[in-house]
Amino acid sequence: MIVRSRAPLRISFGGGGTDVPPYPEERGGAVISATIDKYAYGSLIPTDQAGLEVESLDYDIIAKYEDESALRTSDELDIVKAVVREFSSEALQGGLRLFLHTDAPPGSGLGSSSTMVVALIGLFRHYQKLPLTNYDVARLACTIERERLGIPGGLQDQYAATFGGFNFIEFQKDTVVVNPLRIQRETLNELEYHLLLCYTGRTRRSANILEDQVGRYTRREPEMLEALDATKRLAIEIKNALLRNDLDGFGKLLDEGWRQKRKFSPQVSDPQIDAMYGAALQLGALGGKILGAGGGGYLLLYCPFDKKHLIAAELERRGGKVVEFGFERRGLQTWAVA
């Protein structure tokens, strides 16, 4: 039997940064996001040879680990080994092979690393027939990344990938609440028609940006506190604009959110990103933002329908790559094949 999993990547519209500890524990965070038809995939294949074999297309690696001690060495596959240690160190005696890949590179701002953790947990939940709810899966994914491995970052990606769809997610000290949004199908179709997703041409390492953001928050720098509070408020306003079918208002709120996000750290943007964003606004875009922590990855823009093709052409002239996408309502999925 082969077990497979698929978890969707996400685009975040507002509130990103308020899910990064310690802000949510102290002041409460809120994020609005949607999953898209780009995925992290995993396959789990039992073998008759002891140990673990991992093939990752994202890192172009085939690695073999003969026992549990080998799983504690550090390399590009640390998140994979951490999930295996959580579930199945004894199962390595029977042998496992994992085949992994995603539709976007790590560091792209679409939450690909956290989504892969969710996909991996889904594999073991299905393989071992474990009674884990979606909240259990998302919490465990956060624990593995943020606590077990000490990787800096927020908490929204794990919940978005697990639950799927449009969600307004609230973060408190000991509680996360995922609120699915009932947005009209016509509104979603129109939103897809107006949104433009463009890869800037390079990935980024979010750790340095997040460390700078957290440091400025813990020092209680007034500009940082005000920017995070404004970002949380904008997440609520973006949610309300979508529910009212006010898409032009949604686009303008994206622009305000990007201006607040730039206050998090000087590393959030750079001259290339500023030039691409400025060119898009000059051609008619109402607003947009860099996805994820910033510094590279994907640029999301809200464009008038009759200007979108002009903006896309200009961004590609500047080195970007426009990517077609649609919204995905489903979250983590797993299945077995003979």
**What residues are annotated to the active site?**
157
Rounded to whole angstroms, how far apart are CA atoms 113 and 242?
Answer: 28
How many beta carbons lie within 10 A of that of residue 148, not counting itself? Answer: 16
Rounded to whole angstroms, how far apart are CA atoms 78 and 66?
Answer: 15
Structure tokens at 170: 């609230």
Structure tokens at 277: 């964003």
Amino acid present at 64: K
Structure tokens at 18: 């308020």
Q: Who contacts 200 (Cβ-Cβ below 8 Å, separation ≥6)?
A: 272, 273, 276, 290, 296, 297, 298, 299, 319, 320
Q: Who contacts 40 (Cβ-Cβ below 8 Å, separation ≥6)?
A: 6, 7, 9, 100, 101, 102, 103, 112, 115, 116, 118, 119, 161
Place of tokens 């510094």: 295
Main-chain phi, psi angles of 326, to 5 degrees: -135, 165
Question: Peptide bond before 22: cis, by omega within 30 degrees of 0?
Answer: yes
